[in-house]
A = this chain, B = another copy of it.
Amino acid sequence: MEPQRHPTEPVGFARHDHSHCVEDALAAAEARCLYEGLRFTPVRRRALEILLERHRAMGAYEVLERLQAEGLGAQPPAAYRALDFLVANGFAHRVERLNAFVACNHPGEDHIPAFLICRSCNRVAETVALPARAQLVSAAAASGFEVERVLVEAEGRCAACRQSDSE
């Protein structure tokens, strides 16, 4: 119900002060919405908070469950609408491989995300994919294809899971 307070919760695959990262990201989102005239409604705010709390990719129905528990929308469309808003405005990304959503690690930075997805613990780390995009754009140009959006996702195993495997 309330954010986890352990100061070294893993995010992506690194440890960090989780309580601050949730608060900061939420505050930043709030500020940016105000600035850009976007409506950061309770459902949307809470949906982002849910993604941030876990710092994992979460399915829409998983988010929905938590919204329901607090009376913020009871049906699938509520969750999808909130998540669509977050994705459309760069507060979160959709991870195609998992049919799931994850809070953005570089909000407000105008970037092309790339994801590292651990197939054991399902955690997701976000990095950037600019070189991949450049390569693809030039490859595409040969056939007259115009690239609008690029999606880069790597599947593998994170350090922690590889470690625990060999134990």
Least distance between A34 CB and chain B CB atoms (Å): 31
- The answer to whether the Cβ of A148 comes within 8 Å of any Cβ in the partner chain is yes
Which of A24-32, A51-59, A73-81, A138-146 is the contact stretch? A138-146
User: Given the interface contacts A147-B156, A148-B119, A155-B148, does A114 sit within 8 Å of B136 by beta carbon?
Assistant: yes
Cα of A85 to Cα of B48 in the assembled complex, Å:
38
Interfacial chain B residues near A149, Cβ < 8 Å: 154-156
Chain A, interface residues (CB within 8 Å), range: 35 or more
Show 15 A/B contacts (Cβ-Cβ < 8 Å), sorted by A: A14-B143, A116-B147, A129-B132, A132-B132, A132-B136, A136-B152, A140-B156, A143-B159, A145-B154, A145-B156, A147-B155, A148-B156, A149-B155, A149-B156, A151-B154
